[in-house]
Amino acid sequence: MYVALEGVDTSGKSTQIQALKNIFKEAVFTFEPGATEIGEKLREILLEDSIFLDSRAEMLLFLADRAELIAKVIKPNLHKLVISDRSLISGMAYAKDFDLRVLKTFNLFATQGILPNKVVFLELQEEELKKRLSHKKNDKIELRGLKQLLESQKRFKCVIQDLSLQALILDGSLPREEITQKIITFIEE
111 in a known ligand binding site: no
14 in a known ligand binding site: yes
Report pTM: 0.91
34 in a known ligand binding site: no
13 in a known ligand binding site: yes
12 in a known ligand binding site: yes
* 95-115 pLDDT, tens digit each: 988 999 999 999 999 999 999
Q: Would you list the DSSP string of 127-159?
A: HHHHHHHHTS---TTGGG-HHHHHHHHHHHHHH
- Domain range 2-188, CATH class: alpha beta
Domain ranges of the chain: 2-188
7 in a known ligand binding site: yes
* 1-38 pLDDT, tens digit each: 999 999 998 999 999 999 999 999 999 999 999 999 99
